[in-house]
Structure 1
Amino acid sequence: MSYQALYRVWRPQKFSDLVGQDMITRTLKNAIMTHQTSHAYIFNGPRGTGKTSAAKIFAKAVNCHFQENGEPCNKCETCVAITNGQLNDVIEIDAASNNGVEEIRDIRDKVKYAPTQADFKIYIIDEVHMLSTGAFNALLKTLEEPPENVIFILATTEPHKIPATIISRTQKFDFKRITPADSYARMVYILTEKEIEYEEPALKVVAKAAEGGMRDALSILDQVISFGDNKVTLDNALLVTGSVTQDKIQTYVTEVSQKETTQALETIQEIIDEGKDSTRLIEDLIAYGRDLLLYQQAPALINQLELGMVDDTFKTLSQTISAEFLYQMINILNEVQQQMRFTTHPDVYLEVLTIRLSQFSTIEVISDNSQSGLNQEAAKQIDDLTKTVETLKKQLLNLNKHDDQHQAVAVVKPKKNVATQKKATLNLSQIYPILDNATKESLVQLKQVWPELLQQLSVTQRAIMQASEPVAASPDSVLVSFNYDFLAAKASGDTELLDALGNGLDRLLHNTPKLVCITAEQWPEVRKSYIEQNGHEGTETTIEPVPEVVEQVVSKAEEIFGTENIEIKQD
């Protein structure tokens, strides 16, 4: 006899042989033992989880006269005929190739005839979701008024495509994905029975690569056995599945999380040179990131699901990498996985992926030296800014002491120096046009999005802008006040910061206004000067403005700065 694939030779012949579906098998056995079987069932679940196998076992058990505890004997004439596909009363139909109305009408015409050999006539319709609308309507009539001694078993991987009218007339069983532990145990049993040598890590790799399908696991195992000349080794399993070793995955994740771009690129190049499957690599990285996330919350769950593949390196990574990093990593991996489906150059995507992961600005790595959760680079930048502030404070203190020692000079020339300084730092030709066109609505709108705008900046940029707020806004310009002079000067000359603010405002407001910086100390004086100039145009400052002019000034001020920011005092 020619060689048969493992999944065919070791196809379950009893409910107890089905892997990972205990609830379903127990329910079906109890129904058979108590003679409470339904006329129609839907078996739903991922591929390779035992749906059609369960249907054939059910067909044998319900027709077997020697069944025990709901299990078929697999020895009587009926059981053997069903196993060999030779019983006319058990009809298997592939709906993918027989999905028309005529095929279902043929079933409807023949279903009224009594079974010839068995007690029940069983119709097993695989991939039933492939039936056309007309075919479903034809099947519905039969399910509404089923003949006696006829049972329909509808198997599908996509139950959402089955009309609700069909589902409501059936009993629905959801077959779940088979855990790696269950797949591993089944493969150990089969290899032991076949007396084939194996390495445990190799079976764990196969179990994970199968992604919850027992048939897929046995198919991969078949390839590994053939490749290794009847011996299952870890190296052969990695070659057949295209998987990457656990050590390489851990090394790569460690390098990108610590922003070691060069080393990470070298690691990904080694993986590419080994001929590993790019799609499998992305899936392995997603699974590894998911395992780290789960391990941070429920370590016992990962030990159970991942066959005890949790080593010291894994535990260390789970303690040093933040959940935020893992969220971002999985999101980026999912995005790249979709893009790689349509490319012939996956190595390019893997290299770009590596750079993105190792340089992504919002990824944060937990550091024992930084309780704030910021990475070391950001913490260093903040430390530098803090030192700069302290240095400037000391310089300001020294200047104040120097002024105290030269009070006479300070009394004689303060106004001239101050005026000169203001003229040097203030550009009223930029500020006054903003105030001329400023509106309260523009300012309110800008203040609403300002916190969100700052969150879009890098850590360094956010540190500069943290002590700022918009004080006046027109549709095309914004006047921003800073608490410290040096921060205002820094922001004014930082092109990268201004570009980032402009891009952020464009995303939030669909507008890119020009930003002009001013200090919090200068702003009240500029505002007062502007109001006075608009209120006393061409008049002497000693002349009291007429009420109409005062009203205009107040109205204009309220329009620009808001009523809550204006205080009117009677002199």
Structure 2
Amino acid sequence: MEHVALYRAWRPQSFQDMVGQQHIIRTLQNAIREQRLSHAYLFSGPRGTGKTSAAKILAKAVNCEKGPTAEPCNECDACRRITAGAVMDVLEIDAASNRGVEEIRDLREKVKYAPTEVRQKVYIIDEVHMLTTEAFNALLKTLEEPPPHVMFILATTEPHRLPATVISRCQRFDFRRVSLEEQSERLKLICEKEGITAEEEAIQYIARLSDGGMRDALSILDQIASFSGGQVSYQQVLEMTGGIASRQFAELAQTLLAGDVGGMLQMIDGFMQEGKSADKCMENLLYYFRDLLMVKMVPQADKLTERVLDPRDFAEIAESFTKSQLFKIIDTLNHYQTEMKYAVQPQTLFEVALLKICTIPKEEIDGASATAHSSTADASEVSQLRRQLSELEAKLERALQGGVSAGAGGGASAPAGNNRSSARSSAPRVASKAKIPSNMDRYIAERHSPAFMEVQNKWNQILQAVKEEKVTIHAWFMNGEPVSVLEDSVLVAFKNDIHRETTEKPANKQLIENVMARQLGSPCRLVTMMLKDWNDAIQGAAEPPKEAFELEPPPEDGGSSNSKEPWVDEALHLFGDDLVVIKE
């Protein structure tokens, strides 16, 4: 007897045989019972999830001689002939090979004729996204208002490629990937019926490899059963599919953690000798570390993982890694997996990726937990500094208010407490005055120069780079703003003297100067002052100097030149002899 592939032999023939699409099955069965069937349906979802099978079952349900019925009997002549594909009124069209406008026009002409063999005509258009734009336009009107004896069922794996006008004319059902539990139960049932002996781990691994597609799972099972003579083991599945056992992944992970470059390269060479492909190894390793991250971050994460057979083993390995470490490894593997698609020697890139993971600096690997602790410490330090800053600003405000009150009340009568407040409030002003650059005139002249405009345009990038270096310095430095550039010096004016003094500390100032040098492309020196002093300096430079009023002696003439009091001669010159009276 001719062998039939398992996925064909076990294709669902009724709604109850379908696996994992209960939300769709219930809706269709209720629509049949209540006679509320639509004229057009759109079945979308990943491959192998039952779209075409559901379409054929629906065609049998509406044309069953005992129906329309929620479950086709599969015994009447109509059901058996539709299953065999021998009914001309139930037409399955492959849109990938009949994608032109002429084929759709031919379909549109035949739609108007009444069915001859069954109750209702059903057109199943598979891979409908392959139709051309002209074919879709030809189908639109018929799809919207077909004759009452016609039903359209469109199936596609890429619904985003369909025009919105087509989607709006159909009832859409999204098929989901079949869950691992449902796939495993179905595979066990088929193995039992077909006389195949399969290990539990082998069935679970096949279900995971299929990525939620029941057809793919049955194809893998059929292939391995043929190879092993009906005795399916976990090791045989790995050998046939090119997979790597979890134990080997664990060994490879330990070599990466220890930085054992020699052991890691030997393991890669062993994989290649076994006939495994580098891109498949990269994909499986990426999944493995992804599952480790899920197990580490999410309690009871075995339902979220793709390759975990025993979550307890994964939990032990996950404890050896930190979250930061796993994130770094996944980023590296993902980067090289993308590059591998265009590589002539993918094995070389695979080796380079693992070598890079082995040589990540110690502070990023072994000290990952210390980094996490340091991040927490930085966050607490920032919050503490902000509280201290708020308290200092409040004290400064009270001191300034006290100083104003003291100045308004007069020197002799002011209370002693106000005098002390005034003295304290004046202290910051004296300190800030001392920080005014000596060459202020040159800074003012260069405040609109092209060099300053470049610094101003890149200021946000400079602040962001300082934040990435150390967030605490950024918290103080962001209070300042650039006001001028003179040669290699960048003048930054601060609104608050506390922020300026903290920025001026040697370690903080050195970090900021290094960041500015990287962003601007040349060595820079940071110069600071108070913003109020800068504004006063600009205002003073804008006002012309006032000439002092001086009394000048009149031109030398007869009587005035012998006068010993110049101001008397000036008065006589201004007001005349008639108005000036001189008294001894």
Match of 2:348 in 1: 348
Does structure 2 conserve the Cα–Cα contact (< 8 Å) formed by 1:91 and 1:122? Answer: yes
Does structure 1 conserve the Cα–Cα contact (< 8 Å) formed by 2:294 and 2:304? Answer: no
Residue 478 and residue 21 in structure 1: after superposition, are their counterparts in 2 closer, same or farther (change >3 A)? farther
User: How far, CA to CA, are the matches of 1:164 and 1:446 in structure 2?
Assistant: 45
Q: CA deviation at 1:195?
A: 1.3
Residue 179 and residue 454 in structure 1: after superposition, are their counterparts in 2 closer, same or farther (change >3 A)? same
Match of 2:14 in 1: 14
* Aligned pairs for 1:154-303 within 5 A: 154-257=154-257, 259-303=259-303
Deviates more, 1:178-187 or 1:121-130: 178-187
Q: CA deviation at 1:220?
A: 1.4
Q: Which runs of 5+ in 1 are unaligned?
A: 376-432, 506-510, 528-547, 556-571
Q: CA deviation at 1:318?
A: 3.6
Match of 2:464 in 1: 452
Is residue 105 of structure 1 aligned with residue 105 of structure 2?
Answer: yes
Residue 57 and residue 486 in structure 1: after superposition, are their counterparts in 2 closer, same or farther (change >3 A)? closer
User: How far, CA to CA, are the matches of 1:296 and 1:199 in structure 2?
Assistant: 28
User: How far, CA to CA, are the matches of 1:242 and 1:473 in structure 2?
Assistant: 65
Match of 1:25 in 2: 25
Residue 40 and residue 553 in structure 1: after superposition, are their counterparts in 2 closer, same or farther (change >3 A)? closer
User: How far, CA to CA, are the matches of 2:487 and 2:17 in structure 1?
Assistant: 73
Residue 237 and residue 363 in structure 1: after superposition, are their counterparts in 2 closer, same or farther (change >3 A)? farther
Does structure 2 conserve the Cα–Cα contact (< 8 Å) formed by 1:89 and 1:115? Answer: yes
Q: CA deviation at 1:249?
A: 2.1
Look up the SS of the partner of 1:91 in the other structure: strand
Does structure 1 conserve the Cα–Cα contact (< 8 Å) formed by 2:38 and 2:151? Answer: yes
Residue 329 and residue 367 in structure 1: after superposition, are their counterparts in 2 closer, same or farther (change >3 A)? closer
Match of 1:544 in 2: none
Match of 1:404 in 2: none
User: How far, CA to CA, are the matches of 2:317 and 2:310 in structure 1?
Assistant: 11
Does structure 1 conserve the Cα–Cα contact (< 8 Å) formed by 2:120 and 2:150? Answer: yes
TM-score (structure 1 length as normaliser): 0.70
Is residue 64 of structure 1 aligned with residue 74 of structure 2?
Answer: no
User: How far, CA to CA, are the matches of 1:554 and 1:325 in structure 2?
Assistant: 62
Q: CA deviation at 1:107?
A: 0.7
Q: CA deviation at 1:67?
A: 5.6
* Aligned pairs for 1:380-459 within 5 A: 448-454=460-466
User: How far, CA to CA, are the matches of 2:322 and 2:486 in structure 1?
Assistant: 41
Is residue 513 of structure 1 aligned with residue 522 of structure 2?
Answer: yes
Deviates more, 1:301-310 or 1:332-341: 301-310
User: How far, CA to CA, are the matches of 1:158 and 1:69 in structure 2?
Assistant: 30
User: How far, CA to CA, are the matches of 2:483 and 2:259 in structure 1?
Assistant: 41
Q: CA deviation at 1:26?
A: 1.3
Does structure 2 conserve the Cα–Cα contact (< 8 Å) formed by 1:442 and 1:473? Answer: no
Paired AA for residue 313 in structure 1 = D
Q: CA deviation at 1:43?
A: 0.4
User: How far, CA to CA, are the matches of 2:350 and 2:488 in structure 1?
Assistant: 42
Does structure 1 conserve the Cα–Cα contact (< 8 Å) formed by 2:444 and 2:484? Answer: yes
Cα deviation code 1:245-270 (max 9, x no counterpart): 11222333344356555544443333
Residue 259 and residue 308 in structure 1: after superposition, are their counterparts in 2 closer, same or farther (change >3 A)? closer
Does structure 1 conserve the Cα–Cα contact (< 8 Å) formed by 2:363 and 2:371? Answer: no
Paired AA for residue 8 in structure 1 = R
Deviates more, 1:365-374 or 1:51-60: 365-374
* Aligned pairs for 1:74-85 within 5 A: 74-85=74-85
User: How far, CA to CA, are the matches of 1:339 and 1:119 in structure 2?
Assistant: 56
Look up the SS of the partner of 1:299 in the other structure: coil
Residue 368 and residue 39 in structure 1: after superposition, are their counterparts in 2 closer, same or farther (change >3 A)? closer
Residue 362 and residue 122 in structure 1: after superposition, are their counterparts in 2 closer, same or farther (change >3 A)? farther
Q: CA deviation at 1:70?
A: 1.0
User: How far, CA to CA, are the matches of 2:445 and 2:251 in structure 1?
Assistant: 60
User: How far, CA to CA, are the matches of 2:109 and 2:327 in structure 1?
Assistant: 56
Cα deviation code 1:457-495 (max 9, x no counterpart): 6x9xx9999999999974874579986769999x89xxx
User: How far, CA to CA, are the matches of 2:445 and 2:262 in structure 1?
Assistant: 53
Does structure 2 conserve the Cα–Cα contact (< 8 Å) formed by 1:467 and 1:483? Answer: no
Match of 2:437 in 1: none
TM-score (structure 2 length as normaliser): 0.68
Cα deviation code 1:65-112 (max 9, x no counterpart): 236961111111111111111111110100001011110111111111
Look up the SS of the partner of 2:46 in the other structure: coil
Q: CA deviation at 1:447?
A: 6.0
Look up the SS of the partner of 2:300 in the other structure: helix
User: How far, CA to CA, are the matches of 2:324 and 2:11 in structure 1?
Assistant: 44
Q: CA deviation at 1:449?
A: 3.7
Match of 1:137 in 2: 137
Q: CA deviation at 1:327?
A: 3.6
Does structure 2 conserve the Cα–Cα contact (< 8 Å) formed by 1:324 and 1:363? Answer: no
Look up the SS of the partner of 2:154 in the other structure: strand
Deviates more, 1:24-33 or 1:114-123: 24-33
User: How far, CA to CA, are the matches of 2:305 and 2:196 in structure 1?
Assistant: 25
Q: CA deviation at 1:4?
A: 1.7
Does structure 1 conserve the Cα–Cα contact (< 8 Å) formed by 2:325 and 2:365? Answer: yes
Give the share of equivalent positions with the same residue, in percent.
38
Cα deviation code 1:355-393 (max 9, x no counterpart): 333344699558797484469xxxxxxxxxxxxxxxxxx
Q: CA deviation at 1:453?
A: 2.1
Match of 1:396 in 2: none
Residue 479 and residue 71 in structure 1: after superposition, are their counterparts in 2 closer, same or farther (change >3 A)? same
Match of 1:414 in 2: none
Structure of larger gyration radius: 2
Look up the SS of the partner of 1:514 in the other structure: coil
Match of 2:432 in 1: none
Look up the SS of the partner of 1:138 in the other structure: helix
User: How far, CA to CA, are the matches of 1:35 and 1:316 in structure 2?
Assistant: 56
User: How far, CA to CA, are the matches of 1:37 and 1:467 in structure 2?
Assistant: 68
Does structure 1 conserve the Cα–Cα contact (< 8 Å) formed by 2:467 and 2:473? Answer: no
